[in-house]
Structure 1
Amino acid sequence: MTTQSSQRVGLLHTVPALAESFSSALHEAHPTVESVHIVDTGLLDPDPAGGVTQETTDRVAAHIRHLEESGALAILVTCASTAEIAEQVDSTVPVVRVDEAMAEQAVTIATEAARREDRTGHVEVLVTRPSTVGPTGRLLERFAAAHPDLTVDVTVVDGAEDAREQGDIAGHDALIRDAAIEFAARADVLVLAQASMAEALHGVELPTRVLTSPNGGVRALLAALRMHGSPTHAAAPPDA
């Protein structure tokens, strides 16, 4: 139930396990913020022709409207593939991409590295779903536009997504670790593009900085809530 002392945010997921992990992260960061979650694994169904179907666009828009109607004062889309679609939805509240803060930070790190004679300003992005390549690549290119000396490469970790879908999380993580070790030596910053990849390198030490999206996404969501929310807003939303 929403109270005078609490505010509500909405989260849209395509991976069921992320609902619990983001709920925990939000509670740890801001215990009084309530969260409403929608999980739609069907948003990841591939379009045979490539690109995005109108059905997917309509479903994302419907989910965002539902979260608004549930009283969310800010919304976080935790799927990198879907987030680009969500940006185009006409919403009355802020809609935040889970990977935006991470992408901006990656470009900052690479830009600083490029100033050194022995570095090139190389951002290496690992994804497990081919559908993430375009949205994540375009997001990074947007931030890197003012820095033409930077290099952004996006690599699909073959087999990792299949392993996750079969319930083999250990195999999923092992494939990501192997790829990370391979690319870390020659990159100035390594980006794990999808929130579902965030724990794959737990306990692994690499020679380069590794960025994941969940923590930055939560911080960006709470920042959007602070900008948009107010005690007046917080009292108004109906119960979900």
Structure 2
Amino acid sequence: MTRTLALIHTSPMLVPMFDTLCARILPDWRIFHMVDESLIRNTIAVGRLDKPTTRRMVAQIQSAFEAGADAVLVTCSSIGPGIPVARQLFDGPIFRIDEAMAAQAVSIGRRVGVLATLGTTLEPTIQLIRDTAASQGRDCEVISDCCEGAFEAVLRGDTETHDQRVRASLDALMPKVDVVVLAQGSMARVLAAIPPESLSVPVYSSPELAIQQIRSTL
């Protein structure tokens, strides 16, 4: 029997990337996407994930299960802190895009670098890294950086400026840490364009690790 995965996005730009990943890693699954840009826009406006936006995210997850999803992946790290709430309400598996990445990072290094282009993503990712390290009984020091202007550039369609700023920040962060995580799924293509020999420490992005987690878990 074919199983179904629903992906909840806050940006349509992630859809093609996840289509490609799912076709390779979950070839026997049916996939459908749900996009609500207001979830991230409202979170940015407030400066954090608030209760009204959490309720609307939960409503999206409910809609996904009612539409026939066997599992749901929320692909926006900024709204990830609301997922524990949703897990209390639904029996079906709900995946947070950055959980597998956090677990991988804290398992191999004590000094973890977190790179983001949004403050609303940076803080939840830092907290997730710390919580994950605590759950594994590991010491962890988080060193973070927010790439100023990169998010605004990508909103203008200027992906070249976005990628250049992310790469420059990554180059500056790597000498300070044992491992780096890229806090947003949209940053994955920057990593894909960097030759592995140019990376002085392991660098992880969340999309592929999240899809692999779904495969190994289900």
- TM-score under structure 2 normalisation? 0.91
SS across alignment from 2:131: helix
Residue 182 of structure 2: aligned partner: 192
Per the TM alignment, residue 222 of structure 1 is displaced from its structure 2 partner at its CA by 2.4
Q: Distance in 2 between matches of 1:52 and 1:81?
A: 7
Matching residue within 79, 82, 101 for 1:82: 79
Which structure features the higher share of helix residues? 2
1:19-58 deviations in whole A, cap 9, x for unaligned? Answer: 1211221111122200111011111124555432332112
Structure 1: gaps (5+ residues): 111-120, 227-240
Given residue 173 of structure 1, which amino acid in structure 2 is its aligned partner? D
Residue 90 of structure 2: aligned partner: 91
Residue 138 of structure 2: aligned partner: 147
Matching residue within 152, 170, 175 for 1:162: 152
Matching residue within 159, 169, 192 for 1:179: 169
Matching residue within 203, 207, 210 for 1:210: 203
Residue 212 of structure 2: aligned partner: 219
Given residue 38 of structure 2, which amino acid in structure 1 is its aligned partner? G
Q: Distance in 2 between matches of 1:31 and 1:50?
A: 38
Q: Distance in 2 between matches of 1:16 and 1:67?
A: 17
SS across alignment from 2:145: strand
- Using the aligned pairs only, state the percent identity: 33
Q: Distance in 2 between matches of 1:100 and 1:38?
A: 20
SS across alignment from 2:209: helix
**Closer/same/farther in 2, CA of residues 56 and 194 from structure 1, 3 Å limit:** same
Residue 108 of structure 2: aligned partner: 109
> How big is the alpha-carbon RMSD for the aligned residues of Structure 1 and Structure 2?
1.4
Per the TM alignment, residue 223 of structure 1 is displaced from its structure 2 partner at its CA by 3.2
Q: Distance in 2 between matches of 1:79 and 1:168?
A: 20
Q: Could you tell which deviates more after superposition, 23-32 or 41-50?
A: 41-50
Greater Cα radius of gyration, structure 1 or 2: 1
Residue 39 of structure 2: aligned partner: 43
Residue 70 of structure 2: aligned partner: 73
Contact 1:125 1:152 in 2 (8 A): yes
Q: Distance in 2 between matches of 1:209 and 1:49?
A: 33
Contact 1:126 1:155 in 2 (8 A): yes
Given residue 151 of structure 1, which amino acid in structure 2 is its aligned partner? E
1:57-103 deviations in whole A, cap 9, x for unaligned? Answer: 12101100011011111111111111221221111211111100100
Contact 1:87 1:95 in 2 (8 A): no
Structure 2: gaps (5+ residues): none
Contact 2:181 2:205 in 1 (8 A): yes
**Closer/same/farther in 2, CA of residues 30 and 50 from structure 1, 3 Å limit:** closer
Q: Could you tell which deviates more after superposition, 17-26 or 48-57?
A: 48-57
Number of matched pairs: 210
Matching residue within 48, 55, 59 for 2:56: 59
Q: Could you tell which deviates more after superposition, 40-49 or 99-108?
A: 40-49
Contact 2:71 2:94 in 1 (8 A): yes
